[in-house]
Amino acid sequence: MEPNLNTNQPKVNLSQKEKIKLEREMRHQIITFVVMIFFTVLAFISVASDLIPASFAVPFILILAAVQVILQLYYFMHLKDKDHEWPNAFMLSGIVIIIPMVAALMLLLGVVKF
């Protein structure tokens, strides 16, 4: 074994199992990224092309956005991993608050025009 010349670079103690886990995580992240790119292109095409009516395109792109955000939160930001119970609770609390909030703002500002 070559001596560790740079003492400023500590090694992380990884077992073989953890190394395999990291490799698998890497693959999952790349798949997630490809899916997100694909969804972005799909959303872009469904609006840019004249063939698709707005009545279909708008709900469709909103669903694509929701799926992308879930992928981002659960895979890129690791909400799916263990030890993320409280982060999940915080984000879910936020989502529970924002649904009536966005609906109320849309109605009060957009329809009632206060």
Q: Which of 1, 2, 3, 8 binds another protein (CB under 8 A)?
A: 8
Give 71-101 as a DSSP string: HIIIIIS-TTSTT-HHHHHHHHHHHHHHHHH
The first and second tokens of residue 113, run together, are 């025009």
Token pair of 110 as six digits: 């957009």
Examine residue 1 and tell whether it contacts another protein (CB under 8 A): no
Residues that bind another protein (CB under 8 A): 4, 6-15, 18-19, 22, 25-26, 29-30, 33, 36-37, 40, 43-44, 46-48, 54, 57-58, 61-62, 64-65, 68-69, 72-73, 76-77, 83, 86-87, 90-91, 93-95, 97-98, 101-110
